[in-house]
Amino acid sequence: MASFLFNDFDTITAAAWKQKIQVDLNGLDYNESLIWKSNEGIAVKPFYTKEDRHLSKVSLPDVDYNICQTIFVDNIEIANKLALDSIERGATAIQFIANKKFNYKLLLDKIDIDKTSLYLKLEFLDATFVNDIHNYYNNSYIYFQIDIIGKLASSGNWHTNMNSDIAETKKFIYNSNNSICVNASLYQNAGASIIQELTYTLAHTNEYIEIFGPSIITKIHFNFSIGNNYFFEIAKLRAFRILLDALLNEYKIDDFTAHIFSKPTLRNKTIYDYNVNMLRTTSECMSAILGGVNTISNISYDSIYHKSNEFGERIARNQLLILKNEAYFSDAHKITDGSYYVESLEKQFAEKALQLFKQIEKSGGFLSQLKKGIIQRKINEHAEEEQDRFNQNKTILLGTNLLPELTNKMKHELQIYPFLKTNNSKTLIPPILKKRLSEHLEQKRLKKEL
């Protein structure tokens, strides 16, 4: 049947297609009329063929993605109850966030850690605590989301100091299975371009390899935030795997598949017309799945201004359940293999990011440029360009700078502060700050509310 169908059609080359389009343009320039240049400098063509494919094989996970529930550890009993309830309702992974030590035996009570992946995001550094958890459970499905370089980048300070943080990390990093995390989400939420995000994540990873040795790569997993440019975000995740493989090849390491944890970005989320956030996160979760992540923790539509609540968390989790069980996204992470458009994008992303990565390494590496403020300045420059496009309505957030519902009042709905918080304490370096696009506009609207 297949041979019968396709033998009836002649093979058409890309050059022939372009020639036909050029005739139909009636004298207009093909490149100026139909080639779109993204803000990252990526050329997007009107059509793609097999000539746009590349030979780089993307190392995708062999298993389906996990649906993760994120829970802040304040009250141990409540956190445990929320985790068990989430698992009962379909979650296959739990992310616990804690800013101090906790009773891990009580927190993980009745959780089957052989079937549930656990991500422990520890906002403190304590090797004894990490080793105690590892020695008690000794389970490969526990991922410690500890990132001392990310701590410096996001806060401007180490936990203690550089040498002390490295020494403390060395006490557990070689013992536990998944010891540290490279937090790429910081760059995306601060307004970095996709090229910058890929470059800085790769350079960030290389710093850990330089500090702890090449074998450390098996102890690292990655945390990405997913933006709203659907196909670009798919290609971003795939491009990162290509870049990481290229880096590890220089260290003579092969047969490694990166473990990627992901969440939708906060950068495009809004407090006004907040229900649109559900549409944004649905699209972003789809990009994550098709990009080949291992785990997705969705964010609720009201997470930027409401305290965690049962309704918002249930809706966020159900979005992922619907994608997996009703929209047939289960085992969809390899669907984009062979997509001419996506493969063209990932190739361009990888090439541009690799070029920038080499420049950073020649200039002393990621930490050196971070300490000089160069990384912060580059991200700020792109973030300001993006902010200007939003302010001029060139970048659209529906319900905020396009078709806003002006009768919508939010002043009395703000349970948590939804805007950038500035810290006046002294820091070693300028921190990389996360900021949403719509903050200034929302603040102006709030002032006008009666």
In a domain, 235, yes or no: yes
Rounded Cα–Cα distance for residues 138 and 270 (Å): 41
pLDDT at 1: 44
How large is the angle between the packed helices 148-155 and 194-212, nearest 10 degrees?
Answer: 130
H helix runs in 69-193, sequence order: 76-88, 104-107, 127-137, 148-155, 162-173, 185-189
Q: CATH number of the domain that 198 lies in?
A: 3.20.20.240
Q: Domain span at residue 105? A: 66-345
Tens digit of pLDDT at every position of the chain (450 positions): 455 555 677 778 888 888 888 888 888 988 888 999 998 889 999 989 888 887 677 888 888 899 999 999 999 999 999 999 999 999 999 999 999 999 999 999 999 999 999 999 999 999 999 999 999 998 888 999 999 999 999 999 999 999 999 999 999 998 877 889 999 999 999 999 999 999 999 999 999 999 999 999 999 999 999 999 999 999 999 999 999 999 999 999 988 999 999 999 999 999 999 999 999 999 999 999 999 999 999 999 999 999 999 999 999 999 999 999 999 998 888 889 889 999 999 999 999 999 999 999 999 999 999 999 999 999 999 999 999 999 999 999 999 999 999 999 999 999 999 999 887 789 999 999 999 999 999 999 999 996
Provide the token pair at 161: 């100091």
Q: Which residues contact 106 (CB under 8 A, 6 or more apart)?
A: 76, 77, 80
Q: How far apart are CA 8 and CA 21, in angstroms?
A: 23
Kindly state whether residue 339 falls inside one of the protein's structural domains: yes
- E strand or H helix at 240: helix 230-250
Q: What are the structure tokens assigned to 36, written together? A: 């779109």
* pLDDT value, residue 414: 96
Residue 175: the pLDDT is 81
Question: Is residue 183 assigned to a domain?
Answer: yes
Could you tell me if residue 364 is inside a domain?
Answer: no
Give the rounded distance of the alpha carbon of 396 from its chain centre.
21
List pLDDT tens digits, range 155-187. 999 999 999 999 999 999 988 778 899 999 999
d(CA 343, CA 30) in angstroms, rounded, equals 22
Note the pLDDT tens digit of each residue in 231-279. 999 999 999 999 999 999 999 998 899 999 999 999 999 999 999 999 9
Strand partners, 295: 66, 261
Q: Is residue 15 one of the residues assigned to a domain?
A: no
For residue 140, the one-letter residue type is S
**Per-residue pLDDT at 3:** 56
Total tally of structural domains belonging to the chain: 1
Q: Which positions ≥6 away from 105 have C-beta within 8 Å?
A: 136
Answer whether residue 417 is part of any domain. no
Assess if residue 136 is contained within a domain.
Answer: yes
- Sequence-ordered list of residues with C-beta below 8 angstroms from that of 365, at least 6 positions apart, any chain: 203, 206, 207, 210
What region does 255 belong to: left with phi over 0, alpha with psi -120 to 50, or beta? Answer: left
Cα first-last separation, the chain: 69
Domain-located, residue 80 = yes
pLDDT value of residue 11: 78
